[in-house]
C-alpha cells in the first residue's frame, strides 16, 4: 500500500475570519462574509457583493511585521498570514533537517500591483513604480512566502484556475510518496482585483445578491478572496519530531474533459472522472463518503454539471453535501485549500456546514443540500471538489485517522 499522507497543520484567512478559529466560529454561527466592497478600488462598489477579507493591505502588512511587506501584493500578504498559521499549527521547525517544500497556487498573482502601476502610468507615462510590475508573476507570491517561512528545498507554483490549490495539495502528496520531500506546505492564495471582478462580470456569471449554490434559481457566483495552507507530512517526518497528525489525505484525482474554456461539460464528465479517480485511490466506495464539500459556484452551468456527475457517482445513495462558497464567496485559486481546511475542521469537530440561501432543487436533479448546521455527527471521509476553467477538475478525499 502507498504511504499515508498526513495532515498536521492548517491555516486560513478569508472573508469569514482572519484565522482558522474565526473561520470555524463563523461557520458554526452560519455567519457568511458576503458584503459590499470596502477595500478594492472599483466602480462596482455597492453593486456587486463579494467575500472580501476585512483587513486593508496596510493592516495585513502590520499583521505580518515584515520589512518588505509594504511592497508585497495583497495575494502575498494573504498567503503569508495563512501559511504562517499552518506551520505554527503543525509545530514544525523548518530548519530541523527534514526536507521541506512549498507548493502554492494563485490565479491573479500580483495583478493588484500592476493595476496600481498602470493607473498612474496611463495618466503620466513618466510615473508609476516599476517595482510593482515585478509582483505580477504568479511565482512572486510563492517565492515571498517561501522566504518568509525559510523553505528552500523545493518551491513551486501552480495555476490551473479554480482547481489550483487542490492540485497543489495533490502535487505535494506525490512528492512525499516519491520520497522527494518529507513534508510540504500546500495551498493557495488569491486577492480580489479589478481584473477578476470585471472579467467574471463580463462573463455574466456574478450575482448581484447573495449566491445560491445548487438552487434552481441560482443567478451566479460571488467572488471572494483569501488564502489557506495545509502541512502534509510523511510518517517519517511525524515520527522524527514525535508529532500527531489531524487526519490524512486518502485519495486524490484530476481529470480534464476539455469541453470549453470557461464551462463544464453538461454531462459532468471531468467532474465524474476526478471523483472516481480519487475514490479509487482512497480504496473507498461511494457509500463510504459521509459528506461532499461541493465546488458549488452557484452558476447555472457548474452546479448542473457537478450535480449530474454526483448523481451518476452516488447512484445508490447521495451523501450529505453543501457548498461553503455561500460563506466565503468563490476564492478562485484558494478555493480548494480553503475548502480542504473546512473539511479537516468538519472531521475534527464533527459538523457539516450548511449550504446557505438554498430554497428549491435544480429541476431534474432533485438534490437537496444540507441547509442547517449539523453537529455531533461522526464523519470519517469527506470528498472535496474543485473544478477550474478549461475543464481542469480535481477531487480530494480527506479521512479521519
Q: Report, as residue numbers or ranges, the catalytic residues.
A: 162, 295, 330
Name the nearest CA neighbour of 262 among 225, 224, 300, 293: 300
Copy the grid coordinates of residue 160. 490551473
Edge-to-edge strand ranges of the sheet holding 320-322: 154-158, 100-105, 183-190, 226-233, 5-13, 247-256, 392-399, 381-387, 291-293, 320-322
User: Cell 498570514 identifies what position?
Assistant: 81
- Those residues with Cβ within 8 angstroms of residue 25's Cβ, 6 or more apart along the chain or in another chain: 17, 31
d(CA 322, CA 376): 17
Phi-psi domain of 384 (left: phi exceeds 0; alpha: psi -120 through 50; beta: other): beta
Cα 102 to the center of its chain, rounded Å: 16
Biggest CA–CA distance in the chain, Å, is 66
Q: Are 323 and 221 in contact (CB under 8 A)?
A: no
- Sequence-distant contacts of 317-321: CB under 8 A, at least 24 apart: 317/286, 317/287, 318/367, 319/286, 319/289, 319/290, 319/291, 319/292, 319/383, 320/290, 320/291, 320/292, 320/352, 320/369, 320/370, 320/374, 321/291, 321/292, 321/293, 321/294, 321/355, 321/367, 321/369, 321/370
Please check whether residue 164 is in contact with residue 188, taking contact to mean a CB–CB distance below 8 angstroms: yes
Amino acid at each position: 500500500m502507498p504511504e499515508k499522507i498526513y495532515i498536521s497543520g492548517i491555516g486560513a484567512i478569508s472573508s469569514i475570519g482572519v484565522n482558522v478559529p474565526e473561520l470555524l466560529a463563523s461557520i458554526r454561527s452560519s455567519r457568511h462574509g458576503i458584503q459590499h466592497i470596502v477595500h478594492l478600488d472599483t466602480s462596482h462598489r455597492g453593486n456587486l457583493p463579494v467575500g472580501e477579507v476585512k483587513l486593508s493591505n496596510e493592516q495585513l502588512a502590520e499583521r505580518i511585521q515584515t520589512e518588505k511587506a509594504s511592497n508585497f501584493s495583497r495575494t502575498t500578504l494573504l498567503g503569508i498570514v495563512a501559511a504562517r498559521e499552518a506551520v505554527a499549527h503543525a509545530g514544525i521547525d523548518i530548519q530541523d533537517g527534514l526536507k521541506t517544500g512549498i507548493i502554492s497556487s494563485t490565479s491573479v498573482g500580483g495583478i493588484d500591483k500592476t493595476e496600481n502601476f498602470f493607473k498612474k502610468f496611463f495618466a503620466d507615462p513618466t510615473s508609476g513604480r516599476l517595482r510593482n510590475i515585478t509582483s505580477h508573476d504568479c511565482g512572486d507570491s510563492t517565492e515571498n512566502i517561501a522566504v518568509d517561512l525559510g523553505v528552500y528545498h523545493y518551491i513551486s507554483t501552480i495555476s490551473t484556475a479554480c482547481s489550483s490549490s487542490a492540485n497543489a495539495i495533490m502535487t505535494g502528496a506525490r512528492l512525499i510518496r516519491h520520497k522527494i520531500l518529507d513534508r510540504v506546505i500546500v495551498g493557495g492564495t488569491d486577492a480580489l482585483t479589478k481584473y477578476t471582478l470585471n472579467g467574471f462580470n463580463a462573463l455574466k456569471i456574478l450575482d448581484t445578491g447573495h449566491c445560491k449554490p445548487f438552487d434552481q434559481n441560482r443567478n451566479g457566483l460571488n467572488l471572494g478572496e483569501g488564502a489557506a495552507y495545509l502541512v502534509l507530512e510523511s510518517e517519517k517526518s511525524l515520527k522524527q519530531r514525535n508529532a500527531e497528525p489531524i487526519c490524512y489525505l486518502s485519495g486524490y484525482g484530476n481529470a480534464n474533459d476539455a469541453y470549453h474554456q470557461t464551462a463544464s461539460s453538461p454531462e459532468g464528465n471531468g467532474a465524474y472522472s476526478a471523483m472516481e479517480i480519487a475514490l479509487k485511490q482512497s480504496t473507498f466506495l461511494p457509500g463510504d463518503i459521509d459528506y461532499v464539500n461541493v465546488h458549488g459556484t452557484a452558476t447555472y452551468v457548474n452546479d448542473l454539471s457537478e450535480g449530474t456527475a454526483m448523481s451518476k457517482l452516488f447512484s445508490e445513495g447521495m451523501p450529505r453535501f453543501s457548498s461553503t462558497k455561500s460563506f466565503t464567496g468563490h476564492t478562485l485559486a484558494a478555493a480548494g485549500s480553503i475548502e480542504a481546511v473546512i473539511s479537516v475542521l468538519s472531521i475534527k469537530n464533527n459538523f457539516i456546514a450548511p449550504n446557505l440561501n438554498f430554497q428549491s432543487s435544480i429541476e431534474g436533479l432533485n438534490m437537496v443540500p444540507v441547509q442547517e448546521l449539523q453537529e455531533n455527527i461522526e464523519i470519517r471521509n469527506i470528498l472535496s471538489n474543485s473544478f477550474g476553467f478549461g475543464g481542469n477538475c480535481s477531487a480530494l478525499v480527506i479521512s479521519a485517522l
